[in-house]
Amino acid sequence: MNTLYEGLFIFPETLDEEGLDQAIARVKEELEKLGGTLESTTRMGKKNFARPLKKQKAGLYAVLMFKLEGTRIDAFKKRLTLSTNVFRSQFVLASETTPAPEVAQEA
């Protein structure tokens, strides 16, 4: 049975809009190879890190809601580190009623 997950993905800040599209598409490909489905994508934009990580000062954040079998989440994490342009990622179980995060508009 597929479980709904919320994944926070951080991509390198050097990516342009097209590069970010390709990186998200690559994550979706890896997810589908494992039998999962992408439910929604929310781009949160560029955010500065509290401290430099691997000589990076900022990253492009995206929240992806996806369904995947619970036993395959470790395989998904390994595939992300080996074959995608993901700088960091974090996954949590999401309830069916969890709304997508709101993106704050700058004035």
pLDDT score for 99: 57
pLDDT of res. 105? 58
In a domain, 98, yes or no: no
71 falls within a domain = yes
Q: What is the pLDDT of residues 87-100, one digit of tens each?
A: 999 999 987 655 55
Average pLDDT over residues 11-32: 93
5: CB partners within 8 A, 6+ apart: 65, 66, 67, 68, 73, 91, 92, 93, 94
Res 96: pLDDT: 60
- Confidence class for position 106, pLDDT limits 50, 70, 90: low
- Closest C-alpha among 64, 63, 72, 62 to residue 2: 72
* Chain segment 56-84, per-residue pLDDT in tens: 899 999 999 999 998 999 999 999 988 77
The 8-class DSSP code of residue 70 comes to G
| Backbone dihedral angles phi then psi of residue 55, each to the nearest 5 degrees | 65, 20
The CATH number of residue 83's host domain is: 3.30.70.60
Please check whether residue 107 lies inside any domain of the structure: no
Is residue 5 situated within a structural domain?
Answer: no
Percent pLDDT > 90 in the chain is 70
Residue 85 has pLDDT above 90, yes or no: no
Q: Are 47 and 59 in contact (CB under 8 A)?
A: yes
Q: Which domain holds residue 26?
A: 12-93
Tally of domains in the chain: 1
* Segment 42-62 mean pLDDT: 91
Q: What would the pLDDT profile of 26-35 be if each residue is shown by its tens digit?
A: 999 999 999 9
Say if CB 41 and CB 24 are below 8 A apart. Answer: yes
> Residue 4 falls within a domain, yes or no?
no
Which tokens in the block code for residue 21?
């599209």
